Amino acid sequence: MSGKLFKRIQLWTLITGVVLGGILLLGFNKVVEATSTDEFCNKCHFHPHATTSWKQGVHYNTASGTIVHCVECHLPPKGEGYLPEKVVTGLRDVYGAVFKDSADFNWDLKSRPDNAVHFTKDVSCVHCHQNLYPLEITHEGMDAHLYYEQQEGDVSCIKCHIDAGHYHEGILHAANVDFGTSDKLPDTVYLQPAIVETFEDFTERLPLSAVSFSMKAIPGGTFTMGAGGDDAFAQPGELPEREVTLDPFFMSETEVTWEEYLTWYSQTSGEGRTTDIGMLEGIDGLSGATPPYGNPDQGWGKGKRPAITMTYYAAEKYCEWLSLVTDKTYRLPTEAEWEYAARGGTTGPYFFGGEVKDYADVGLRARLFGVDTSVINSYAVYIQNSEGRSQLPGAVRPNPFGLKNMLGNVAEFCQDIYIENAYTQYPGPVVNPVVVAGGNEHVVRGGSFLSDAAELRVSARSKTNHDAWLRTDPQIPKSLWWYSDCYHVGFRVVCEFDDHLTTK
Amino acid sequence: MDKKSVSRRNFLGTTAIGAAGIVGVAGLAASCSEKKVQVSFVPPPLKAVDGQPIRAGVIGCGGRGTGAVINFLNAGNNLEIVAAGDLFDDKMVRFRESLKNKKGVELADEKCFVGFDAYERVLAEDINYVIIATPPHFRPMQFEAAVKARKNVFMEKPVAVDPVGARRIIVAGKQAASMGLSVVSGTQRRHQWNYLEMFEHVKAGAIGDFVAGYAYWDQNKLWHVNADPAWSEMEAMVRNWVNWLWLSGDHIVEQHVHNIDVINWFKGDVYPVEAVGYGSRQRRVTGDQYDNFSVDFVYEDGTHMHSMCRQINGSHGNVSEFIMGTKGRTDCRHKIFNHDGTVLSETSDNPWPDTDEAKNALNEKYNSPYDQEHIHLVNAIRKGTPVNEAEHVASSTLTAIMGRISAYTGKRTTWDEMMNSEVHYQPEVYDFGPVNSVPKDVPVPGEAADA
């Protein structure tokens, strides 16, 4: 081969390579562009939770008429990881489109801000919103953005700007002075609370309201508290088992409902609401909650749905009020009372029988053949059947003591200070135990609509997380009464069977 | 965007040091056996550069406002005062007389405004520079208004009396910075040649790492004004403002902020994370303030600053700062000492010369820091290199507030509490009548809920 020919081939190879490369690059750019339009996104994300709510939202209806497109929020800016993130989300979306049915997705849960932060990153927000302190900003906005900058990553933009991308009717991040005021009250009005003289189930009545609720008589007794040695899902804090003896008490059949909670809320006065209310004789002052910031019921409705997002302190104050207006001793259950009541005389992880492996979607067998969840579904509202929200008490069957939703629906405050090794520190046998010191957080029991089957176990323990649950409350000081970042916890009340009742 | 730009650990940055005309460190003496660091110091400019006309307005025409206007007019050519505002007519009359006598400048009647809205009317004039020298209580609202009106600002220290106010200054300062406006504050040590020179030594490592700082402002009683029976409560309070917490922030904030700011500045514009303070009222005649404070501040790295301030007649006087380092120590304004007390290095000139000849030479070479502040500000505007001291002075103000609240309450206070505190002293209305909704009683440590 002559040198000339060789050079010519070299040249032609070079030219071909450049042309091919150019075509590829052009093609690549075309592909990137074509797969980054709103129309392309909406081909798969056609469900109303994506397209419609975006078109109803503030980033579509901007004051200037500029429309903010899908990829501008859901992918990082170009040059800051745009392409890699596009590839990753693209692959995930293709997998979802091929192997999953969007109708099965829990959209309520997926569109919660705590989930949305995974595909709406601050880097995209501040790419456009570069100035956190525009001249028009309010003093509240200034303080909130100073707080944001001080938190160094613990707070993300959309945790506060909650409906920035997609319109969402139930969710609110703003002062909510009117909360609960528009709920229509029924006509019947109780003038007196229930009178209880014997130890049997009764229906409590809230004076000056039409609200009543059922209380179950829980006989005293001795039981084994904690997780059994054969419970593979037991956490260290649930061990060792200990023998506990309890006096009899009454417990509310269901978690405290919105109509019960709002009776207190409307009968006690707070900032922004009228103080001109009918006071019960002999009571000249009660502290009530201030109005919430945000929407406590999440737009799910109130009525007999369990009340949520109140602080532990608010739950305690509710019990104090309830005691005053009913002339009884109401309080939060102790952790031991709670577990005793939840077990209803049973042993094992669930009062309705079975084990975690029977219900949980884990392990090869479960993955291949699925699990029979008909039993757990009839007793508990949890992640597999909750659709990401609390349900009405009628959705489940009661436990042997007649109590509903002890496991699942919403988790519940207990009186005890949370200590992880409480059972080691205070081994059995113990009588009416309650931990009153040794920490700052309180015990939370019972799992919620967000829990998996393992977290629903009757011995499973959890706790409040005060700072994290108030992280995005922009008020100064933060609310005493409402958590801004916790929507899965409520409470139920117990009433003591004490001299208070029997000597009347 | 730098997410951490306001975090207290990252305040370092964008301020006026460059404008002071320092060329910086020529070289560390690493190769020499001498541990003295080599610093080449260029004195700050004696006069502002020529350039676009500066038309200034002044808000607050008392002693300091009058002084600041004269300092401004001294700073260079083509500088003009065109509007003035004050709360009181008699202050305005005296201000106009001083201006006429000292600088030959006469302001037209229609450019002089009196009343609570005087600041808005000054800002509405055709000005590009505003001097704010009202009592500290009014600073946040007036600085915010000045920034909204797109004015360059010279504002006196302190810049707030409470945490809410300090945060408002920080944010308005950011807004000013983002619009390319310049802001200089009356913490004039940051513009004073001998402090600037010592700062260069310390920055170059002359005393090693920071170990502890000491800040002092101990002096005789400050002035007070007895109320005229014809005055409303508002008039009596504002005329006697250095004795009322809601107007001045108490003397630890109003006066001692200078020294506290020097320690924070020399430490690298870092601010303490907590404070435990003592204080009391022994001899003050009017108002609700203390007359002595002693505060232990702790920085995040565990080092401390001790601050002492007092306004009591017949007691020892001391207005100074002192910093201990790992290699040596400094008085921040004249000398670097070795640990054995010998002098390692000192400023290129003696700031306190003995002879008249030397004094005259010093005055030829260096400006008063009060003039210098305005030279720096005018230069920043004319050269298009904005300076912004708002965040620094607000943070040092907030440091002093944190110390005050600790002394008032007897409790430990923290920077995080200050950044989230709702404490804000605000009268119900600004008019010449009774003053409601502001504290008037002297706080009792251990009993005061907050302050």
Mention every residue, 6+ apart, whose C-beta is less than 8 A from residue B314: B220
Are residues B420 and A147, on separate chains, in Cβ contact within 8 Å? yes
Which H or E element spans position A252? strand A249-252
Of B164, B171, B419, the CB nearest to A133: B171
The reply to whether B10 touches chain A by the CB within 8 Å rule is no
The candidate with the shortest Cα–Cα distance to B190, out of B11, B398, B18, is B18
- C-alpha B273, offset from chain centre: 20
**Positive or negative torsion for Cα A365, A343, A417, A431:** negative
Contact B405, B272 (CB under 8 A): no
CB atoms near residue A200 (< 10 Å):
10
The reply to whether B147 touches chain A by the CB within 8 Å rule is yes
Chain B nearest-CA distance from A78, in A, is 15
Model pLDDT for residues A163-186, shown as the tens digit of each residue: 888 887 777 777 877 787 766 666
DSSP state of A480: S
Strands B335-338 and B343-346: antiparallel
The reply to whether B171 touches chain A by the CB within 8 Å rule is yes
The reply to whether B168 touches chain A by the CB within 8 Å rule is yes
Mention every residue, 6+ apart, whose C-beta is less than 8 A from residue B259: B215, B216, B217, B307, B309, B319, B320, B321
The candidate with the shortest Cα–Cα distance to A35, out of A90, A78, A113, is A90
- Distance, CA of A333 to CA of A412 (rounded, Å): 9
Query: Does residue A266 have a pLDDT over 60?
Result: yes
What is the DSSP secondary-structure string of A281-335?
TT------PPPPBS-TTTTS--TTSBP-SB-HHHHHHHHHHHHHHHTS-EEPPPH
The reply to whether B424 touches chain A by the CB within 8 Å rule is no
Q: Which whole number is the average pLDDT over A71-77?
A: 92
CB atoms near residue A91 (< 10 Å):
10
Query: B6 contacts in A (CB within 8 Å)?
Result: 146, 149-150
Chain B nearest-CA distance from A150, in A, is 5
The reply to whether B108 touches chain A by the CB within 8 Å rule is no
Substitution target from B1, B147, B167 for chain A, most A beta carbons within 10 A: B1
Q: Write the CA distances from B270 to A491, B10, B299, B309, B415, integer angstroms.
A: 46, 8, 8, 21, 12
Model pLDDT for residues A23-37, shown as the tens digit of each residue: 888 888 888 888 889
The reply to whether A476 touches chain B by the CB within 8 Å rule is yes
The reply to whether A140 touches chain B by the CB within 8 Å rule is no
Comparison of pLDDT for A130 and A1, the residue scoring more? A130
- Distance, CA of B75 to CA of A468 (rounded, Å): 53
Chain A nearest-CA distance from B123, in A, is 16
pLDDT at B207: 96
- Distance, CA of B413 to CA of B407 (rounded, Å): 9
Query: Does residue A384 have a pLDDT over 90?
Result: no
Are residues A131 and B178, on separate chains, in Cβ contact within 8 Å? yes
Are residues A137 and B171, on separate chains, in Cβ contact within 8 Å? yes
- Distance, CA of B198 to CA of B210 (rounded, Å): 14
Mention every residue, 6+ apart, whose C-beta is less than 8 A from residue B99: B66, B69, B70, B81, B105, B106, B107
- Distance, CA of A462 to CA of B115 (rounded, Å): 61
| Bridge partner residues of B323 (DSSP) | B213, B330
A356: confidence class by pLDDT, cuts 50, 70, 90: confident
pLDDT at A19: 87
CB atoms near residue A5 (< 10 Å):
9
CB atoms near residue A37 (< 10 Å):
13
The candidate with the shortest Cα–Cα distance to B28, out of B38, B18, B19, B20, is B38
Helices B193-203 and B257-266, packing angle to 10 deg = 30
DSSP, collapsed to helix, strand or coil, labels residue B150 as: coil
- Distance, CA of A188 to CA of A259 (rounded, Å): 14
pLDDT at B7: 39
Contact B289, B250 (CB under 8 A): yes
Q: In terms of CA atoms, which chain B residue is nearest residue A146?
A: B6
The reply to whether A480 touches chain B by the CB within 8 Å rule is no
- Distance, CA of A176 to CA of A183 (rounded, Å): 14
The tokens describing A347, both together, are 């042993």
Q: What Rg value do the Cα atoms of chain B yield, rounded?
A: 22
- Distance, CA of A407 to CA of B384 (rounded, Å): 67
Q: Name the residue type at position B295.
A: V
The tokens describing B86, both together, are 């004050």
| Bridge partner residues of B274 (DSSP) | B298, B414
Q: What Rg value do the Cα atoms of chain A yield, rounded?
A: 28
Q: Name the residue type at position B360.
A: N
Q: Name the residue type at position A77.
A: P
Of A146, A149, A476, the CB nearest to B4: A149
Helix/strand/coil percent split, chain A, to 5: 35, 10, 55
Are residues A134 and B175, on separate chains, in Cβ contact within 8 Å? yes
The tokens describing B251, both together, are 């003397």
- Distance, CA of B438 to CA of A433 (rounded, Å): 49
> How are strands ordered across the β-sheet holding B79-86?
B112-114, B79-86, B54-59, B129-132, B152-155, B183-185
Contact B275, B295 (CB under 8 A): yes
- Distance, CA of A394 to CA of B320 (rounded, Å): 75
Q: Which whole number is the average pLDDT over A275-299?
A: 67
Place of tokens 């917490």: B245
**Positive or negative torsion for Cα B376, B381, B385, B390:** positive
- In this structure, the dihedral spanned by the alpha carbons of residues B59, B60, B65 and B69, taken in order and rounded to 10 degrees, is 30
The reply to whether A130 touches chain B by the CB within 8 Å rule is yes
Query: B3 contacts in A (CB within 8 Å)?
Result: 122, 126, 149, 152-153
Please, is A441 exposed, middle or buried when counting C-beta atoms within 10 Å of its C-beta (0-12, 13-18, 19+)? middle
pLDDT at B104: 96
On average, the pLDDT of chain A sits at 87
Query: Does residue A4 have a pLDDT over 60?
Result: yes
- Distance, CA of B276 to CA of B297 (rounded, Å): 7
Q: Write the CA distances from B407 to A445, B165, B250, integer angstroms.
A: 43, 20, 11
The reply to whether B170 touches chain A by the CB within 8 Å rule is yes
Comparison of pLDDT for A199 and A299, the residue scoring more? A199
Query: B174 contacts in A (CB within 8 Å)?
Result: 132-133
DSSP, collapsed to helix, strand or coil, labels residue A484 as: coil
Are residues A147 and B419, on separate chains, in Cβ contact within 8 Å? yes
Query: A133 contacts in B (CB within 8 Å)?
Result: 171, 174-175, 178
The candidate with the shortest Cα–Cα distance to B260, out of B230, B215, B304, B221, is B215
pLDDT at A182: 67
Helix/strand/coil percent split, chain B, to 5: 35, 20, 45
The reply to whether B2 touches chain A by the CB within 8 Å rule is no
Extended strands (E) in B203-270: 210-219
First to last CA, chain A: 118
Chain B nearest-CA distance from A147, in A, is 8
A187: confidence class by pLDDT, cuts 50, 70, 90: low
Quote the pTM value. Answer: 0.72
User: What is the ipTM metric for this complex?
Assistant: 0.72
Please, is A199 exposed, middle or buried when counting C-beta atoms within 10 Å of its C-beta (0-12, 13-18, 19+)? middle
Place of tokens 């607050």: B60
Reported for A13-21, long-range contacts at CB under 8 A and 24+ positions apart, including other chains, are: none
- Distance, CA of B190 to CA of B254 (rounded, Å): 17
* H-assigned helices in B42-138: 63-74, 89-103, 118-123
- Distance, CA of A141 to CA of A123 (rounded, Å): 19
Q: How many CB pairs under 8 A join A and B?
A: 49
Q: In terms of CA atoms, which chain A residue is nearest residue B7?
A: A150
The tokens describing A136, both together, are 């028009």
Q: What is the number of helices (H) and of strands (E) in chain A? A: 19, 12
pLDDT per residue, tens digit, chain B (451 aa), is: 343 333 333 333 333 343 344 444 444 434 344 566 778 888 999 999 999 999 999 999 999 999 999 999 999 999 999 999 999 999 999 999 999 999 999 999 999 999 999 999 999 999 999 999 999 999 999 999 999 999 999 999 999 999 999 999 999 999 999 999 999 999 999 999 999 999 999 999 999 999 999 999 999 999 999 999 999 999 999 999 999 999 999 999 999 999 999 999 999 999 999 999 999 999 999 999 999 999 999 999 999 999 999 999 999 999 999 999 999 999 999 999 999 999 999 999 999 999 999 999 999 999 999 999 999 999 999 999 999 999 999 999 999 999 999 999 999 999 999 998 989 999 999 999 999 999 999 999 988 765 4
A479: confidence class by pLDDT, cuts 50, 70, 90: confident
pLDDT at A229: 79
DSSP, collapsed to helix, strand or coil, labels residue A375 as: helix
Instruction: State phi, psi for B406 to the nearest 5 degrees.
Output: -65, -45
Of B3, B178, B422, the CB nearest to A476: B422
Contact B444, B409 (CB under 8 A): no
The reply to whether A189 touches chain B by the CB within 8 Å rule is no
Chain B nearest-CA distance from A434, in A, is 32
**Positive or negative torsion for Cα A327, A331, A337, A339:** positive
The reply to whether B421 touches chain A by the CB within 8 Å rule is yes
